[in-house]
């Protein structure tokens, strides 16, 4: 106890840095699926792919049959997805961060079965899965 009191600033720094390291693991995330799981969902049917990257990123390469609605426009264009409410909605971005935000927006709008591609297009192409332009 004497050590802690004598070195309170060092102990405080250690506690704060430990909390900072744990924060990403504890931050709320939407439901995620790996590239293999997404491929299985696509093969089963009843899956809609939503790409939330910008138009230029989408044009460079995307998952086949993906619909492109950039994350910045999603709240205004969410009505375009009403037909997909009964389907599994897989949200894709470049790394997975934007798609997590999009999944949260979609869940708030009533899309119960929305999930994010874990690792985004980076993981998709690393797995050697096909893309179209």
Residue 114, Cβ density class (10 Å: 0-12 exposed, 13-18 middle, ≥19 buried): buried
- Please choose, from the candidates 70, 53, 72, the residue with its C-alpha nearest in 3D space to the C-alpha of residue 62: 53
- List residues with catalytic annotation: 93
Compute the distance between CA of residue 98 and CA of residue 61 in angstroms, rounded to an integer.
17
As beta bridge partners, residue 33 has: 117
Angle at Cα 114 formed by Cα 109 and Cα 116, nearest 5°?
125
């Amino acid at each position: 106890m004497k050590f802690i009191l004598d070195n309170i600033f060092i102990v405080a720094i250690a506690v704060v840095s430990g909390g900072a390291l744990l924060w990403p693991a504890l931050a709320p995330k939407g439901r995620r699926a790996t590239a293999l799981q997404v491929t299985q969902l696509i093969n089963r049917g009843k899956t809609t792919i939503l790409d939330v990257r910008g138009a230029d990123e989408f044009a460079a390469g995307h998952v086949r049959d993906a619909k492109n609605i950039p994350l910045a426009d999603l709240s205004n264009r969410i009505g375009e997805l009403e037909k997909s409410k009964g389907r599994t909605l897989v949200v894709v971005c470049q790394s997975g961060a934007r798609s997590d935000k999009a999944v949260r927006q979609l869940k708030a709008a009533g899309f119960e079965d929305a999930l994010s591609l874990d690792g985004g297009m980076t993981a998709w192409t690393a797995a050697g899965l096909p893309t179209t332009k």
